[in-house]
Amino acid sequence: MLTIDDILNNFKLPLTVRRESLIMGAYKFAAAAHRGQKRKSGENYIQHSLETALTLAKIGMGSKTIAAGLLHDVPEDTSVTLSEIEKNFGEEIAQMVDGITKLGKIKLRESKEEYILENLRKMFLAMAQDIRVVIIKLADRLHNMNTLEYLPKDKQLRIARETMEIFAPIANRLGIGEIKGQLEDLAFKFLEPENYKYINELEEKYYLEGEKYTNQAIKEIGKELASEGINVIEISGRKKHLYRLFLKLKRKDMDISQIYDLVAIRIIMPDIPDCYETLGIVHKKYHPMVGRIKDYISLPKPNGYQSIHTTIFGPEGRIIEVQIRTKKMHDEAEFGIAAHWIYSEKERKGWRDYFFRKKAKVPMEELEWVRQLREWQNDIGRDDFEEFIEGLKIDFFKNHIFAFTPKGDIIDLPEEATPIDFAYSIHSEIGSRAMGAKADGKIVPLDYHIQNGQVIEILTSRENKKPSSDWIRFVKTSIAKTRIRQQLKRE
Ligand code: MN
């Protein structure tokens, strides 16, 4: 069982009084709101909020993101409203919580293709507004996957598939390797239980066997480094994630003797010269395998990954992969953009600017994250992805907004679209019967300009009603204009 101390103890930034009281305040508020509620697992609901917050703390997120993580299910699952969160914690945190609630309202379509696109779009929308929302969603999903066994079978499969096809690629794109690996392994377990069991047993067997040699090599390398007077931050063994091992095995005709990085030794050094010096010392101690030395420090991988990899003949000729990198490189590989937060002095800048500029008027090509989105094509494997991105660039960023129905359907609209446009986009009957509208729960006039991401509810009359001729004046979509004219003519 987690307590708030676990979150505070794992907080990576300096724990100032202000930050600590924000986290404590959010915890108390969420615990009070969720009091008496249980998860399907039988645990108190607040455990889910704490698990989400713990993941966020571990990857180095700031206190506001952790507070939003603690509060993320409050408006959706309790009687406490978003405006009460805003009153207590301010607009920034309330907006994050609202973003997570909207992401949760997603309606899955029958068609797989459609629902992937739908989810992606929603993710993008959230990202464009605040990328922290997406990171909280990943932490939320990680705990939901960890407790997936308590849900009915059909839900398990749907959620596992969604995790594999949407959430893991998103974690990968954001460079949060640790979350990506865990999400994939958990989804793998539910999607391919037999393969999972096979790989799990296989790895267990080889890992246990290899552990002895790895530990010996770790000790020997540590001794050599110490005798040369070189400081090491950490030297440890790491296990390969099961799903990644499975994919690699499939490429190698399921021959595990062809896998050299089943067990790897990770050496974390203070700076770059130490990494090269360490490589020399490792090679002096153990023979390297020809053609297996990769210097990703000088030549980083396209996703920015940096490390030196070498494969050695370890104790008793055992093959072991060794990865050498600096602490900063390590954190960036594990925590992705979250690491930019840790390494940026100014909390408000850092990765937030790195990925996007809010309400950017700059050409899209200049934005780093648009380039990143393009790379999604590889992760998603969709042929028409390029087209999708092109469309996204024009529709989504230039002059389009997305609004949601109360059920979570997404309606694409041009900028300055009104509730009447929204109503006609759903159905011409809803259009003609429109009497009033709510935006995010508040009554708005029918010529109101819908804001990106708002939930719009159309209040309709019971009887058939003709549209008002005034509407033509302010509607923005051609579909609304055409329908209104048709309906008026019919009279
Ligand atoms: Mn949740």
Average pLDDT over residues 350-374: 36
Kindly list the catalytic residues.
76-77
Spatial separation of the C-alpha atoms in residues 403 and 422, rounded to whole Å:
8
Question: pLDDT digit string (tens) for 303-326?
Answer: 667 899 999 999 988 889 999 999
pLDDT at 129: 65
Q: Was domain 4-188 assigned CATH 3.40.50.2300?
A: no
Spatial separation of the C-alpha atoms in residues 165 and 380, rounded to whole Å:
7
Q: How far is CA 40 from CA 104, 156, 194, in A?
A: 17, 13, 25
Greatest mean pLDDT range, 19-33, 158-172, 416-430, 468-482: 19-33
Q: Where are the beta strands (DSSP E) in 339-483?
A: 400-404, 410-414, 434-439, 442-444, 456-460
Spatial separation of the C-alpha atoms in residues 108 and 159, rounded to whole Å:
11
pLDDT at 196: 96
State which residues have CB under 5 angstroms from ligand 1, the bound ion.
73, 140
Average pLDDT over residues 82-101: 93
Find the 350 Cα to ligand 1 centroid distance in Å. 27
Coarse DSSP helix, strand, coil percentages of the chain, rounded to the nearest 5 percent: 60, 10, 30
Find the 28 Cα to ligand 1 centroid distance in Å. 17
Strands of 434-439's sheet in order across: 442-444, 434-439, 456-460
Handedness of CA 282, 284, 285, 287 (dihedral sign): positive
pLDDT of 396 higher than 80: no
193-334 homologous superfamily: Beta Polymerase, domain 2 (3.30.460.10)
Comparing 145 with 59, the larger pLDDT belongs to 145
Average pLDDT over residues 75-83: 94
Find the 118 Cα to ligand 1 centroid distance in Å. 20
Average pLDDT over the chain, rounded to whole? 82
pLDDT at 261: 79
Spatial separation of the C-alpha atoms in residues 448 and 256, rounded to whole Å:
63
Find the 60 Cα to ligand 1 centroid distance in Å. 19
H, E, C per residue of 172-220: HHCCCHHHHHHHHHHHHHHHCHHHHHHHHHHHHHHHHHHHHHHHHHHHH
Find the 104 Cα to ligand 1 centroid distance in Å. 8
Residue span(s) of the chain under CATH 3.30.460.10 come to 193-334
Q: For residues 141-152, b (16+ Cβ closer than 10 Å) or e, as one string?
A: bbbbbebbeebe
Find the 163 Cα to ligand 1 centroid distance in Å. 14
The model's pTM: 0.68
Question: pLDDT digit string (tens) for 431-467?
Answer: 999 999 999 889 999 999 998 778 899 999 988 888 9
Backbone angles phi, psi at 423, to 5 degrees: -60, -45
Q: Lowest mean pLDDT: which of 107-111, 122-126, 225-229? A: 107-111
Average pLDDT over residues 330-350: 55
Spatial separation of the C-alpha atoms in residues 187 and 145, rounded to whole Å:
7
CATH class, domain 398-490, is alpha beta
Residue span(s) of the chain under CATH 3.10.20.30 come to 398-490
Question: pLDDT digit string (tens) for 191-239?
Answer: 999 999 999 998 888 877 778 888 999 999 999 999 999 999 999 888 8
pLDDT of 338 higher than 60: no
